[in-house]
Amino acid sequence: MNKRLAAACTAAGCMTLAALASNTANAFEGGVSPYPAGAAGTSIAAMPPIPGLFVLEQFSYSHSNGLYDNSGNKLPIPFSISAPSMTTRLLAAYPVTVLGAGLYSQLVVPVVSLHTDIVGQSQRHNGLSNITISPAILKWSVTRNLAIVTGFDIALANGAYNQDRPSVAVGYTSWQPVFSFRYNVPNGIDVGMTNRFLINRENGDTGYRSGSAYVADFTAGWNFGKWKVGVVGGYLNQFTDDKVNGATVANNRARSLALGPSIAYDAGAFNININYQQGVYAANTSKSSAVWLNIAIPLWAKPPGPGNGI
């Protein structure tokens, strides 16, 4: 077995879970995507409307027991991996506008416990995954119900990474431009999507460069007063090849889809969401399922008033 049997969780919680076997390569170095598709849940384009400091705590448990080839067929490799995680997202909302948009910035700090059992070899590793920073996020309130958000996330090459064993972090930086929209009607329809591109840098320790990919997080549901019910999910499609020391790894692009039910409650002082995302399809990666608990709380918010709103 290859030493790079790896899987992890990043900025918003659990990542795509996969591994490398002796005769089977899986997309992304170590089988790990630098962003966990579906992590946004119901928070897509849900930016606070007034200046302040806010926190979103995300708790997740992800599990996978299968690897899939380029045609989406399950491989005969004994494989099981699970990853409980806790991710803290700190969001600052500023009392200014830029190009008519509200201005925000974000810091994402994930901690992961990774349990692997591959071909009878079991390991457990805990630690800090890759920290993500969003220097500037812009939100336009196009109408009362429609919001558009764009930003640029940087997943840093830090955390508990080790090229010789399964790790809870990746060993390279990932540049991630993001564009989101949300149409949300009180006591009515609620739909949203985040479009994200993963532009991955080379791992300086291994000479491996994971390919670029497109990720879509989505939510759709209905508001009933303070309650919201619906579905959430995530889709990943790698559109360039991995490379090792400049050589292309052919027929090895990751694709995955997961979705499932979601319920949320807005208590005013805090917002809570529980969702479950079942792995539906996977190619050149693992088919993983995850349960998420998300709690959003304002740490400090200035009451709205003349000159204070965004």
For residue 201, give the DSSP letter.
P
Exposed / middle / buried, residue 139 (Cβ in 10 Å: 0-12, 13-18, 19+): buried
Sign, CA dihedral 118-31-111-159, equals: positive
On whether residue 310 sits in a domain, the answer given is: no
Q: What is the pLDDT of residue 305?
A: 57
CB atoms within 10 A of CB 32: 31
CB atoms within 10 A of CB 21: 17
* Average pLDDT score over residue span 143-167: 91
Q: Which of 61-70, 176-185, 217-226 has the lowest mean pLDDT?
A: 61-70
* Average pLDDT score over residue span 116-126: 86
- Position 150 pLDDT exceeds 50: yes
Which amino acid would we find at residue 192? G
* Average pLDDT score over residue span 14-27: 41
Q: What is the pLDDT of residue 229?
A: 98
On whether residue 309 sits in a domain, the answer given is: no
Structural domain including 243 reads 9-301
* Average pLDDT score over residue span 7-30: 43
On whether residue 247 sits in a domain, the answer given is: yes
The pairing of strands 208-209 and 132-141 is unpaired
Q: Which of 45, 159, 37 is nearest to 108 (CA)?
A: 159
On whether residue 308 sits in a domain, the answer given is: no
Mean pLDDT of the chain: 88
Question: What's the pLDDT tens digit per position in 207-257?
Answer: 999 999 999 999 999 999 999 999 999 999 999 999 999 999 988 999 999
Cα torsion through 101, 46, 127, 201, rounded to 10: -50
Query: pLDDT category, 18, cuts 50, 70, 90?
Result: very low
- Position 1 pLDDT exceeds 60: no
On whether residue 3 sits in a domain, the answer given is: no
* Average pLDDT score over residue span 118-145: 92
Percentage of the chain beyond pLDDT 90 is 71
Beta strands in the chain (DSSP E): 9-10, 13-14, 52-68, 79-98, 101-118, 121-128, 132-141, 146-155, 174-184, 189-200, 208-209, 213-224, 227-238, 242-244, 247-249, 255-266, 271-283, 285-301
On whether residue 287 sits in a domain, the answer given is: yes
Number of domains observed in the structure of the chain: 1
On whether residue 228 sits in a domain, the answer given is: yes
CATH number of the domain that 205 lies in? Answer: 2.40.128.130
Q: Which of 29, 19, 28, 112 is nearest to 65 (CA)?
A: 19
List, in order, residues 6 or more apart from 123 with CB less than 8 Å away: 114, 115, 116, 165, 166
On whether residue 111 sits in a domain, the answer given is: yes
Q: What is the pLDDT of residue 125?
A: 87
Query: pLDDT category, 179, cuts 50, 70, 90?
Result: very high
| CA–CA separation, 130 and 191 (whole Å) | 29
Question: What's the pLDDT tens digit per position in 78-114?
Answer: 888 999 999 999 999 999 999 999 999 999 999 999 9
- The string of DSSP letters for 79-101 reads EEEEEEEEEEEEEEEEEEEETTE
Q: What is the pLDDT of residue 162?
A: 83
